[in-house]
Amino acid sequence: MPDAPFPAGPGLFVTGTDTGVGKTVVTAAVARALRQQGRAVVVCKPVATGARPVGSRWLAEDTAVLADAAGWAGDWERITPWAFPDEVAPPLAARRRGVALSVSEIAAAVRQRAQPGAALLVEGVGGLLCPLTERATVADLVAELALPLVVVTRRALGTLNHTLLTLEAARARGLKLAGVVVSETVPVQGLAAETNVDELRRLGVPLLAVLPYRPDAAAVDDPSLSAVDWWRLCNA
């Protein structure tokens, strides 16, 4: 029998309903909020694609944002041990560089970065069912790490469907849900965007915060996120 998953320590796994929904913005904001409370924080985005060359290394923009939020400027491999240049799903990006990814190896790398008493914030790639290896998805990594899940969804037409599908997939796999953050990736326009937060609440979705649109969102924290008790959720 395979070993049962065990938690990587207090922490959260941040996933999204899609790519480009604001996972990195939220993860970075949570890291800064915890550090401002005097909490130790470890950030990790174990696999990233669409990276650019910097010297002899590959750097994804998400990794740079997380490094800044954690105070680890330049320590990119500590955050992202697998970075690939092609902006495609991880197994294809890895295959094109002659690399074979495995969930057990990725999970082990994440656990190695964990520190006693520190909040471990792990950001996934793409959405919950995005392929991560040739046979596994991001959801399999979440299950292996046994971390509570924060789902980031964009505020737009289609939000209800995308959010409910992601939550249903998480429940089907027995993943622990910490809650949902709605991210306004563009200015709110149209009836669907104006009403879907209320509709999510009506449908019983556990909303943690609504992150208002800001062009400089990666550099600005918002009270809606700072007001959340992230440390409690990390230890739930």
Rounded CA separation 31/43 (Å)? 7
Beginning with the edge strand found earlier in the chain, give each strand of the sheet holding 207-211 in spatial order.
Answer: 41-44, 119-127, 11-16, 149-154, 177-183, 207-211
And the tokens for 162? 């995308």
- Could you count the other beta carbons within 10 Å of the beta carbon of residue 6? 11
Rounded CA separation 109/88 (Å)? 22
And the tokens for 222? 């918002």
Rounded CA separation 236/232 (Å)? 6
Residue in the block written with tokens 């970065």: 113
**CA atoms lying within 13 Å on the CB side of residue 78:** 18
- Could you count the other beta carbons within 10 Å of the beta carbon of residue 114? 18
Residue 45 is a catalytic residue: yes
Question: Which position among 23, 32, 45, 162 bears the catalytic label?
Answer: 45
And the tokens for 81? 């041990």
C-alpha distances in angstroms, 135 versus 34, 101, 103? 35, 10, 9
Rounded CA separation 234/9 (Å)? 9
And the tokens for 224? 């809606």
Positions annotated as catalytic residues are 45
